Chains A and B, each alone.
Chain A
Amino acid sequence: MNFDLTEERQMLQDSLRRFLRDKYDTATRNKILESNTGFSADIWNGLAELGVIGALFTEDQGGFGGAGFDIAVVFEELGRAGVVEPFLDTAVLGGGLIAELGNDDQKAHVEEIIGGALQLAFAHGEPTSRYDMNRVSTTAKADGDNVVLNGRKAVVVNAENADMLVVSARESGDVADEDGISLFLVPADAKGITLQGYALLAGGRAAEITLDDVTVPASARLGDAGKAYPAIEARIAAANVAICAETLGAMETACRLTRDYLMTRKQFGKPIGTFQALAHRMSDLLIEMEQARSAVIVAAGHLEHPHKARESHVSAAKNLLGRAGRLVAEDSIQMHGGIAMTQEYELAHIAKRIIMADHRFGDTDHHLERYIAIAAA
């Protein structure tokens, strides 16, 4: 057993933490939150230069990391600083699916992604799919050498900034069959695509996407027809490890701010952290932080394991982080009082990141149900 980071990952963590501490303060981030694009090109390019995107791909894929622990290191730091730039969507999801399933031509995009030149969005969820990964009603119909896509995709994060969309569509089978789902790499400006964009509560932007007879060549398909589900499930597992690590980093910040506040804010003539009612709650948060850190480590460490072990540990982590995250976010706000309710105070954004992470790729309850189902299978 060894719980230390490798030298490379330690260096990555140090340089990323330093970069974000110097360049991503609350005022900078609040400006990014109010911007029309929802992200900063400077920050994006700076982090790409630092190698942050490369760390999310394996050496075979052209990167220098790509394992669960690499993802966890990167996203914990992004979470600590409340970063809203679309690393999850462009690199872990879109880029990861291209690297996993793509042919040589398609894989050529990975280099552009790592360099920060190409942005992606994963258009998978639909208005009635909630968190079911297998429920795809968008259709893909062959038409000679082309494929025609029709359907609607819901809350597609980073869709407006994306150069290309990775779109899931059904080529055969019933609406909830795992078999029959394909992925297509579609230029964002393809004819028949309509975006309705909006800002997200926790930062960044998303869009509703309508696909109306979007025609792409069959060569736009990623991997074999109808066989994309295992790769989708695996990349969403990686995304959930990233989300859990990001949440952990954000929880660290919430706890640091709360502890500092309890030691400096005075009421009734003494620091409020000396009141036992608050001191004990702070202790509970710190206990849950250790639980959360362990759950992230276990999930990251099982990302390369066989299906059942991987999915079980990912669902366990998402459930635990959902519970611990809610406790940390709510109690941090409560112990601060009114100040934490204000937009300009750092905790407001951090708390939103923590809570809204529960709404991507399955919430606390969904993953508890899934954990039970996997164990019973």
Chain B
Amino acid sequence: MDLSYSDEEKAFRAEVRAFLEEKLPKEMSDKIRKGEELGKAGQEEWHAILNAQGWLAPNWPKKFGGAEWNAVQRHIFEEEAAAHYAPRIVPFGLSMLAPVLQKFGSQEQNDYWLPRILSGEDWWCQGYSEPGAGSDLASLKTEAVLNEEGTHYIVNGQKTWTTLGQHANMIFCLVRTDKTVKQQEGISFLLIDMDTPGVEVRPIILLDGTHEVNEVWFTDCKVPVENLVGEENKGWTYAKYLLTHERTNIAGVGFSQAGLTAVKRIARAEMSGGKPLMENPHFAARVARVEIDLMAMSTTNLRIVSKAAAGAAPGVESSMLKVKGTIIRQEINDLARRAAGAYAMPFASEAIEGSNLALPDPLNAGPVAAQYFNNRKLSIFGGSNEIQRQIIAKTTMGGGA
């Protein structure tokens, strides 16, 4: 047992810090710190900066142009990135689609799509959930039927909760290609150009006024058969692979650490009874309790990360980290809005363009209440916490999930 990082890991952390201090634009980190949205152009700028450094694809093998970092290195990078208020990289192409292509895609698909992901030429979004298929994803109904010539699939149906679909030009979808078999055995993994006639993106406005998710509708869309990944009707296997292998940052440790720092900053600025709120023992106890939870959870995360670095696939632990990680992040969001007092009440959402300019914010707290509401999504998406608990229960008591 040794709780310290190795010399190599420490050197790596120093290298990451130096990079962030030099290359992360200040106006970008200011925006992230204040809870503002970066927008498409900002996202693309950070994407390009990381790509130039060769750190854009930390999880890809070197032969595909990745950094091939191990799990501990990735963890260190994520921790430092959050601490420096670096933007989160949009994960759909880089860490969701790419591993599936690398494992199950054809040589042609990898040669064509991977460089375009790195260059930013393609912005990918994910077409999984449907109005009737949320937690029960396998019941999805969007249908792809091969035409008579065998050259194209004709796709009809609707996807929903498509994150940043308004910026995307490509979408990877789970579609039904066989209705006669068991649900999971009739699903395929298809890549669809959003410019195809018949694709329509409709915005969904969230409760904090932001537009980050969409509905995507498909009406008789012609998709070339070359865009099928792997084999027809094996899509469920690929989707599960994607889920089990892309959960390194599932605990959100870096986000929680940055969030806790923000809570303390707000609570030092906010006065209560003539003293900073941070000196109120009741409030300080709340902060301390979540800090203790976070300390333990980040260690759990490291224990699992170390195992994964040694090659073991994370199992039920990812579900545990998702549940605990989201509880902690949401508790921190709750503390931030509490700390701001009456100044949590203004509608400080970035949804209203330039709204922050006109808003009073003596605490420099940012849109804490809007973030509190927005992050209710954390325990809903990517497999709700109820589904995660079901996985844990089935795995530990039901003889395997």
A interface residues with partner B (beta carbon < 8 Å): 125, 127-132, 135, 154-155, 175-176, 196, 198-202, 206, 208, 266-268, 272, 275, 277-278, 326, 330, 333-334, 337-338, 340-344, 348-349, 351-352, 355-356, 358-360, 363, 365-366, 368-369
Contacts and interface: CB of A to CB of B under 8 A. Distances in A.
B322 to A, nearest CB: 14
B345 A155 contact: yes
A196 to B, nearest CB: 6
B362 A338 contact: no
Contact of B271 (A130, A202, A267): A130
A112 B274 CA distance: 39
B369 A355 contact: yes
A334 B347 contact: no
B314 interface: no
Nearest to B389: A277
B343 A267 contact: no
Contact of B204 (A201, A333, A342, A355): A342
Residue among B129, B270, B370, B376 with most chain A CB within 10 A: B376
A366 B286 CA distance: 13
Given A132-B272, A338-B129, A343-B206, A356 B345 contact: yes
B273 interface: yes
Contact of B207 (A176, A196, A330, A352): A352
B218 interface: no
A132 B277 CA distance: 12
B159 to A, nearest CB: 12
30 contacts: A127-B362, A130-B270, A131-B341, A135-B274, A154-B342, A175-B274, A196-B360, A198-B346, A198-B355, A198-B359, A198-B360, A201-B208, A201-B344, A201-B369, A201-B373, A275-B386, A333-B376, A334-B384, A337-B135, A337-B384, A338-B213, A340-B376, A348-B207, A349-B207, A358-B338, A359-B341, A359-B344, A359-B345, A363-B338, A365-B286
B397 interface: no
Given A176-B273, A201-B373, A208-B360, 12 more contacts: A125-B342, A130-B273, A130-B341, A175-B274, A198-B347, A199-B346, A199-B347, A201-B369, A330-B376, A341-B377, A359-B342, A369-B282
A355 B374 CA distance: 13
Interface string B124-145: 0000010010111001000000
Given A155-B345, A196-B360, A200-B346, A338 B389 contact: no
B249 interface: no
Contacts of A154: 342-343, 360
Contact of A267 (B136, B208, B330, B344): B136
Interface in B351-397: 352, 355, 358-360, 362, 369-370, 372-373, 376-377, 379-381, 384-386, 389-390
Contacts of B389: 277
B341 A200 contact: no
Contacts of B172: none
A90 B12 CA distance: 61
A342 B384 contact: no
Contacts of B280: 369
A220 B129 CA distance: 61
Interface residues of B, number: 58
Contacts of B341: 130-131, 359, 363
A266 B139 CA distance: 11
B346 A201 contact: yes
A121 to B, nearest CB: 14
A196 B282 CA distance: 33
Contacts of A355: 337, 369, 372-373
B92 interface: no
A33 to B, nearest CB: 9
B342 A130 contact: yes
Contacts of A338: 129, 134, 160-161, 213, 377, 380-381
Nearest to A361: B342
A356 B341 CA distance: 10
B343 A155 contact: yes
A176 B135 CA distance: 53
Interface string B101-117: 00000000000000000
